[in-house]
Amino acid sequence: MSNIHPYVGRATSRVDGPLKVSGLAQYAAEFGAPDLAYAAAVPSAIAKGRVTSLDVSAARAAPGVIDVLSHENKLAFPEDDEPFKNDMVAVPGSPFRPFRDDQVHYSGQAIALVVADTHENARHAATLVRATYAAETPNVDVASAANHYEPPEPRDGIPPTPEPRGDAAGAFAAAPVQVTADYRVVAEHHNPMELQATTVVWEGDGRLLIHNKTQGVVNPKNYICSVFGLDEDKVRLVSPFVGGAFGMALRPHYDVFLAVMASLKLQRSIRLVLTRGQMFTMGWRPDCLQTVSFGADAGGRLTSIQHHAIQATSRYEDYQEPIVNWSGFLYDCDNVALKYELGKVDTPTPSDMRAPGATTGVFALECAMDELAYAAKVDPVELRLMNYSDRDKNDDKPFSSKELREAYRLGAERFGWSKRSPEPRSMREGRELIGYGMATGCWEAMTMPHKARATLTADGKLEVGCATADIGTGTYTILAQIAADALGLDIAEVTSRVGDTSLPMAPVEGGSWAAASAGSAVKSACETLKDELLKRARGIDGSPLANAGLDHVVFGNGRIALASDPAKAVSFADVLKGAGLDKLEADGGFEPDKDFAQTYAGYTHAACFVEVRVDEDLGVVRLARVVSAVAAGKILNPLTARSQILGGVVMGCGMALHEETLWDKTLGRVMNANLGEYHVPAHADIPDIDVVFVDEEDGSNPLGVKGLGEIGIVGTAAAVANAIFHATGKRVRELPITIDKLL
């Protein structure tokens, strides 16, 4: 690297911050169009069965109503599954299609769409649609699913369940220390602030400009073109801002499907904003039953690990996430048996939700480790160090980097773990029992192919962009940091753009791969741009850089200068002028290093330490402190990085203590489908959170970045549960740990 990098690695405020706080950032439901009509989806009242009749006469007669669509008068779309699988995040099965027929697959499914002149008229008329049903008895409880099965077709893009190794059952039977426990992680919904929404701008001539809340504009665009047979050149999808998503906006949802259908049918612009209640009629973190069994020697060295998970999925698709895999490599053990099964329920297909799989599986694994610590009478941190793995035995590979040991050390030190007395109920202050708990977190460090473009204009300003998304993580900012460093520009001279299908290709933003992948692609585009600039600078008559190569020059202050004699320089503006250009564009790209990935296993790690206070008689839990020590490669921006971990930790605290989607088992309906009764932590619930990053060098991509969006949540709930056990001596194995479970 020939340039100093003043921005990358330095705390840099969000470049999009002023737009967001001033309300100028536009979200999908905020784009206008002349002649915009408003749609409202009508939810089904039953969870399973058929719509036997649909009376839309009152709705049609209501003020302002333009049309009412349903399976009876829909715009035709293909019958077969394939066009609907044009979705990067599709899972095995038969994708859901609104209005396909009269079947109801889950409660709240859209059975009609009212289009009216105003949002209010549409919402009102939607309440006037009368449906009758032939209802069947639904089951929404994975524990009572008819049968559990190993998914016949594995989901693309996630690691398969590892084959067993050694003899886990035999080693367990022979182990002097045994721990077996059942855990349950309950259903959760993502509940981002921004509602799922689409504004379709009918541009005439078959052109559609779609604004859709999404974690990757390319995905819904491809899907829409595929299912409605639209010409890709005539559809553009623009979604510059996302008000939180956590995975729920990875797949195209029924809002974009129905809004486009209405737009095509009525040949006009349409906006559809789902209600908060309807946010519970799409992806969710599936309910999961788990059993973990450990065998260990008398000192706590693991000799056997068995982890079995049964996770809910919908009737029509086999949604899968890696729940048990972590148990195969997080600790060193030669006898491992992992089993992952599904059970079908009458709900929408679950979806990825922040650290899908790990959040659920590592909760059970890390609670079981805590149980083992007590069974073997070993300190929980000691136990983890004793069983530390230096190799991913699932795939038999070394780790690309793994500074987890240092994370344990640093986290324990900052937390003051040494002050913990090991016995449960042994620490107290007044009526409050004090508990210290800890757990490990782990998430895959992934990269994905990305393209990017860098454009320098005659005024010396740089624009970089790709079709990824910034779902609030800070992508805009890190791309600007990387580009500013590459060209030696002030960050104020750099604009980054994302969320537009006219930009170079990017996959959805998920899996914490965007920083490494989009960042590397932008860096590559900038490197190409520098090359092109220098080439042209050399060609200028009497150029002081005539014989200089990239190694001999420095980019900075809007100029290319000779490293040996900085007075000899050509300004970017002169380069463009000399070449007769008003802008210079360069494309770049990033491809994951396949050899590297074949040689190494890449993971981020965290060590989470929690102090809880529990009122001895009443079971009131207060979190007192959290320390999260994270090893995740190079930290591009400590400010946005810390925010990502804070958000993950808060979500983990919510998972531990509050979050639960409550289904009525008879009606198959979510009963707390609002933010008043679906509890996420309030400010009062969240204590000081100390985030610390451990130095870690990683070679999997040019930036050395591993990703931070999800690691903060993994392990946090287990650390809270373990702290509650230490405080109270009560082992609560079913989340959330509410007051009734501690009485």
> Should residue 76 be labelled a site residue for another protein when binding is judged by CB under 8 A?
no
Judged by CB under 8 A, does residue 431 bind another protein?
A: yes
The answer to whether 120 is a known catalytic residue is no
Of the candidates 1, 146, 567, 684, which one interacts with another protein according to CB under 8 A? Answer: 684
Least distance in angstroms from the C-beta of 556 to another protein: 50
> Does 165 engage in binding with another protein (CB under 8 A)?
no
326 token code pair: 């972590």
Identify which range of 9-17, 324-332, 363-371, 661-669 contacts another protein by CB under 8 A: 661-669
Q: From edge to edge, which strands make up the β-sheet containing 559-562?
A: 553-556, 559-562, 569-571
Distance CA 602, CA 615 (A): 42
Residue whose structure tokens are 């009508």: 42
> By C-alpha distance, which of 35, 89, 3 is closest to 448?
89
Residue 195 interacts with another protein (CB under 8 A): yes or no:
no
Residue 120 interacting with another protein (CB under 8 A): yes
Q: Is 267 in the site for another protein (CB under 8 A)?
A: no
Query: Smallest distance from the beta carbon of 402 to another protein, in angstroms?
Result: 36
Draw the binding track, 40-59, toward another protein (x: CB under 8 A; -: no contact).
---x-x--------------
- Which of 620, 695, 697, 699 is the binder for another protein (CB under 8 A)? 620
Expressed in percent and rounded to 5, the helix, strand and coil fractions of the chain are 30, 25, 45
Whether the CB-CB separation of 191 and 650 falls below 8 Å is answered with no
Nearest-approach distance from CB 54 to another protein, in angstroms: 15
Work out how close the CB of 685 gets to another protein at its nearest, in angstroms, rounded to a whole number. Answer: 5
Min dist CB 30 to another protein, Å, is 21
Closest CB to another protein among residues 43, 49: 43
Which segment (81-89, 278-286, 349-357, 663-671) binds another protein by CB under 8 A?
663-671
Q: How far is CA 111 from CA 262, 486, 662, 673, in A?
A: 14, 52, 23, 19
| Site mask for another protein (CB under 8 A), range 719-738, x = bound | -------------------x
Q: Using the rule CB under 8 A, which residue among 384, 613, 625, 706 binds another protein?
A: 613
Peptide bond into 736 cis (omega under 30): yes
C-beta of 340 vs 436, nearer to another protein: 436
140 vs 368 by CB, closer to another protein: 140
Angstrom distance (rounded) from CA 433 to CA 418: 18
Instruction: Work out whether 663 is an interface residue with another protein (CB under 8 A).
Output: yes
Burial 360-381 (b: 16+ CB within 10 A, else e): bbbbbbbbbbbbbbbbbebbbb
Structure tokens at 718: 């287990």
Interface residue with another protein among 669, 706, 726, 733 (CB under 8 A) is: 669
Does 672 contact another protein by CB under 8 A?
A: yes
Binding to another protein (CB under 8 A): which residues in 223-242? none
141 is a contact residue toward another protein (CB under 8 A) = no
- The position carrying tokens 């990305």 is 450
- The amino acid at 43: P
Q: Under rule CB under 8 A, how many of the chain's residues touch another protein?
A: 43
Query: What does DSSP assign to residue 536?
Result: H
Q: Is 271 in the site for another protein (CB under 8 A)?
A: no
Q: Is 677 in the site for another protein (CB under 8 A)?
A: yes
Is residue 679 at the binding interface for another protein, with CB under 8 A as the rule? yes
280 lines the binding site for another protein (CB under 8 A)? no
Q: Which stretch binds another protein (CB under 8 A): 386-394, 508-516, 628-636, 666-674?
A: 666-674
Q: Shortest approach of another protein to residue 657 CB, angstroms? A: 7
Structural element, H or E, at residue 621:
strand 621-631
Contact 630, 712 (CB under 8 A): yes
* CA-based nearest residue to 333, from 368, 357, 360, 359: 368
* Interaction between residue 682 and another protein (CB under 8 A): yes
Q: Minimal distance in Å, beta carbon 651 to another protein? A: 14
| Residue 123 touches another protein, criterion: CB under 8 A | yes
DSSP, res 463 = E
Tell me, rounded to whole angstroms, the distance of Cα 374 from its chain centroid: 34
Of 364-372, 451-459, 636-644, 671-679: span binding another protein (CB under 8 A): 671-679
Q: Which of 464, 438, 308 is nearest to 384 (CA)?
A: 438
Within residues 89-108, the interface with another protein by CB under 8 A covers: 107
> Is 688 a binder of another protein (CB under 8 A)?
no
Structure tokens at 307: 């982890």
Q: Which range binds another protein by CB under 8 A, 481-489, 561-569, 682-690, 697-705?
A: 682-690
Cα separation, 509 vs 470, whole angstroms: 8
Exposure b/e, 169-202, CB count within 10 A at least 16 = b? eebbeebebbbebebbbbbbbbbbebbbbbbbbb
Nearest distance from residue 261's CB to another protein, in Å?
A: 24
Contacts 24+ apart (CB under 8 A), 158-161: 158/320, 158/321, 158/322, 158/357, 159/322, 159/325, 159/394, 159/444, 161/322, 161/324, 161/325, 161/338, 161/339, 161/340
Q: Which of 246, 345, 339 is nearest to 286 (CA)?
A: 345
Contact 581, 573 (CB under 8 A): no
Binds another protein (CB under 8 A): choice among 377, 535, 577, 665: 665
Half-sphere exposure of 493 toward its Cβ, with a 13 Å CA cutoff?
21
Backbone angles phi and psi of 381, in degrees to 5: -70, -45
* Options 18, 32, 63, 170; binder of another protein; rule CB under 8 A: 63
Write down the least CB distance from residue 435 to another protein, Å.
Answer: 15
Q: Which of 321, 432, 509, 710 is catalytic?
A: 710
Contact range with another protein by CB under 8 A, out of 159-167, 428-436, 456-464, 533-541 = 428-436
Check residue 130 for interaction with another protein (CB under 8 A).
Answer: no
Phi and psi dihedrals of 555, rounded to 5? -95, 125
What is the nearest approach in angstroms of another protein to the Cβ of residue 347?
A: 15
What are the residue numbers of the active site? 710
Query: Which residues of this chain interact with another protein, rule CB under 8 A?
Result: 43, 45, 63, 107, 120, 123-124, 127, 430-432, 613, 615, 617-620, 622, 657-658, 662-667, 669, 671-674, 676-677, 679, 681-685, 738-740, 743
